[in-house]
Amino acid sequence: MPKQTKTFESALKRLEEIVTNMESGEISLDDSIKALEEGNELIKYCLGKLDDVEKKVQKLNNPDE
């Protein structure tokens, strides 16, 4: 993803685009590798965001902890 402010939603949309492109079979092997690398980075980003949100929700649900 380009160097810009990412949101979970934009990262997820880009992941969907990558999957669609790869499933089409119309991209080269080199482009597939680049897409896989980008996809892996986006997955890490999304998992991190989900982890952060989960921690916030737990804190809100258990304010005494």
Residue 6 phi, psi (nearest 5):
-95, 150
Which residue shows structure tokens 């934009």? Answer: 10
Alpha-carbon span 57 to 13, nearest angstrom: 24
Tens digits of residue pLDDT in 3-60: 566 899 999 999 999 999 999 999 999 999 999 999 999 999 999 999 999 999 999 9
**45: Cα within 13 Å, side-chain hemisphere:** 18
Comparing 36 with 2, which gets the higher pLDDT?
36
- Does 2 have pLDDT greater than 70? no
- Does 1 have pLDDT greater than 60? no
Q: What local confidence, expressed as pLDDT, does residue 63 receive?
A: 82
Q: What local confidence, expressed as pLDDT, does residue 22 receive?
A: 95
